[in-house]
Amino acid sequence: MSVNKLVGEMRTSFGKGAARKARAAGRTPAVIYGHGSEPRHITVPAHEVALILRHKNAIIELDLNGKTETVLVKSASKDVVTQVIEHIDLVEIVKGERVHVEVPVHVVGESMSGTVVDLEHKTLKLEVDATTIPEYVEVHFNKEGLGFHVTAGDIKLPAGAKLDLDDHELVASVVGTGAGASEDAAEAAPAAATEAPKAE
Q: pLDDT per residue over 94-128, tens digit each? A: 777 788 888 899 999 988 888 999 999 999 999 88
Last residue of a domain, one of 93, 108, 133: 93
pLDDT single digits (tens) 152-166: 999 988 888 899 888
Mean pLDDT, residues 84-96 taken together: 85
Task: Check residue 6 and give its pLDDT.
Answer: 87
Residue 160, domain member (yes or no): yes
Last residue of a domain, one of 67, 93, 119: 93
Query: Quick one: 169 and 127 in the same domain?
Result: yes
pLDDT category of residue 178 using cuts at 50, 70 and 90: low
Q: The domain spanning residue 68 has which CATH number?
A: 2.40.240.10
Give the global pTM. Answer: 0.61
Last residue of a domain, one of 93, 109, 141: 93
pLDDT single digits (tens) 25-47: 888 899 998 877 788 898 899 88
Task: Look at the chain and report how many structural domains it folds into.
Answer: 2
Distance CA 93, CA 99 (A): 9
Write out the residue range of the structural domain in which residue 17 sits: 3-93
**Three-state secondary-structure class, residue 10:** strand
* β-bridge mates for residue 100, sequence order: 127
Residue 180, domain member (yes or no): yes
Long-range contacts formed by 72-76: CB under 8 A, 24+ apart:
72/99, 72/130, 72/133, 74/33
pLDDT category of residue 58 using cuts at 50, 70 and 90: confident
Q: Spell out the residues 6+ positions from residue 160 whose beta carbon is closer than 8 angstroms to its own.
A: 128, 129, 132
* Strands (DSSP E) found in the chain: 3-10, 27-33, 40-45, 59-64, 67-78, 85-93, 98-110, 115-119, 123-129, 137-142, 149-151, 162-163, 170-176
